Amino acid sequence: MFKYTGNIEKIKDAVEMANYKTLCADIVEDVKDSVDYDMSNVNTEYLSAEILMRFDADIMNVEIYYPRYRYSSAMGYYSKSKPNTIHINGYKINSIHIYELVSLLWHEFCHYVDYKLPDGYYANHGSNSSKGKAYTFQYSVNRYVYSYFDYKKETNTYYIPWYKKVLRWFKWMISKLESLL
């Protein structure tokens, strides 16, 4: 499960969505049905069981960081030095879609799943460049998350209360004004 104790509304919402049991079940099915991933030596049935087990038993803490270089293009990262933490670039939160955040959380969680595999096994896209890696474990899971929200929109309507929308609009306006100063 994903856990966030901060007070950024959009992150709270993304974490709540990332924790949907039906989303997890969908991803597990998609992984199980997939052909073996690129840059992996683990079969997908084993990986799908690992996902389910880690999702149920382990906690992934979501933390926001602000990179020294304000315009860094990274949306977030995962580091084995803090294996149970997902880092999200605080400067990116306003500009990316909530589904992208959910997808990012799952991508980084799958780095954790890889980290926990027994010695000698891996399912990991390696360096940060995403080029040519669409069929690796983590990038495939990104796709599954998007398709979940596209195809099941009706049954999983994501509801944002009107006052949150107004508040977000004001925050967005303020950030625009600030950028003009």
Measure the CA–CA gap between 26 and 24, rounded to whole angstroms: 5
Question: How far are the Cα atoms of 63, 83, 110 from residue 60, in angstroms, in the given order?
Answer: 10, 8, 11
Q: How far apart, in whole angstroms, are the C-alpha atoms of residue 39 and residue 110? A: 14
Per CB under 5 A, the segment of 19-27, 28-36, 57-65, 134-142 that binds Zn ion is: 134-142
Please tell me what DSSP assigns to residue 35.
P
Which of residues 48 and 103 has its CB atom nearest to Zn ion in the complex? 103
β-partners of residue 96 are none
> Three-state SS for 30?
helix
Handedness of CA 103, 104, 110, 112 (dihedral sign): negative
Nearer to Zn ion, 32 or 133 (CB): 133
Rank residues 103 and 138 by Cβ distance to Zn ion and give the closer one.
138
Q: How far is the CB of 126 from Zn ion (least distance, A)?
A: 9
- 94 is written with which tokens? 């306003």
Our CB check for Zn ion shows the closer of 12 and 77 to be 77
Q: Any contact of residue 138 with Zn ion (CB under 5 A)?
A: yes
Q: For Zn ion, how many residues bind (rule: CB under 5 A)?
A: 1
Question: To the nearest whole angstrom, how small is the minimum distance from the Cβ of residue 107 to Zn ion?
Answer: 5
Nearer to Zn ion, 77 or 91 (CB): 77
Region from 43-51, 60-68, 115-123, 136-144 binding Zn ion, contact rule CB under 5 A: 136-144
**CB of 128 vs Zn ion, minimal distance in Å:** 7
CA–centroid distance for 56 within its chain:
16
Applying CB under 5 A, the residues found at the interface with Zn ion are 138
